[in-house]
Amino acid sequence: MDSDFVSIILNALEKTDTSGVWSQSDALSTVYRGKLAYVADAVRGLFVNAFRPGVHMALEGQFSKGCPGDCDGDSLLTREGPVPNLPLVGEKHFPVQAKIALYPMGIPDYIDKIAGVWRMAEKARLNPVSIHYATRISGDVHEVFDYLEAVCRKMEAEVPHYILCFTLSVNSPTQE
């Protein structure tokens, strides 16, 4: 954490191209809505733009699809073309620890979906470890974001509604 966290957050928000998403910020959070590729790109851009060497930073987030009645920003669901942030932040690399919890909704075989996501983390060499009610992974920031997006793509194809909660952490002072 840094005593200058306000300017770190505001500068990251300013640097992040949100032209592909509907965006709303308040005192507790920032919401991005739109097609998965653009939402994932905006979250990645925001996180990478906020990174400072040696400064502990954490992000609590969730990706979801299938919530009935949420229609703000639906006009952006037809957007096409390349994502705007990855070309700007793709050369910045740093290690990330993450905690993920996947909730596939409305299906009886939800545990099989969660197990499949675990195997995806193993295949991506993100060293998955079971923790209470979640899975820890670790890797390069872009490997982790690629994985999160891949999980969402898999869930979009297999379940009607899912929620993927995640915590990302860099430069943690906690020794393990």
pLDDT, position 147: 99
Rounded average pLDDT per 10-residue block, the chain, 176 residues:
85 95 89 94 98 96 82 72 96 98 96 98 98 97 99 97 98 87
- pTM for the model: 0.94
pLDDT, position 100: 99
Helix (H) or strand (E) run with residue 176 in it: none
pLDDT, position 81: 94
- The architecture in CATH of the region 5-67+92-170 reads 2-Layer Sandwich (3.30)
Q: Please state, in angstroms and as integers, the Cα–Cα distance from residue 22 to each residue in 17, 31, 55, 74, 89, following that order.
A: 11, 8, 29, 8, 20
Q: Residue ranges per domain, the chain?
A: 5-67+92-170
Phi, psi of 98 (to 5 degrees): -140, 150
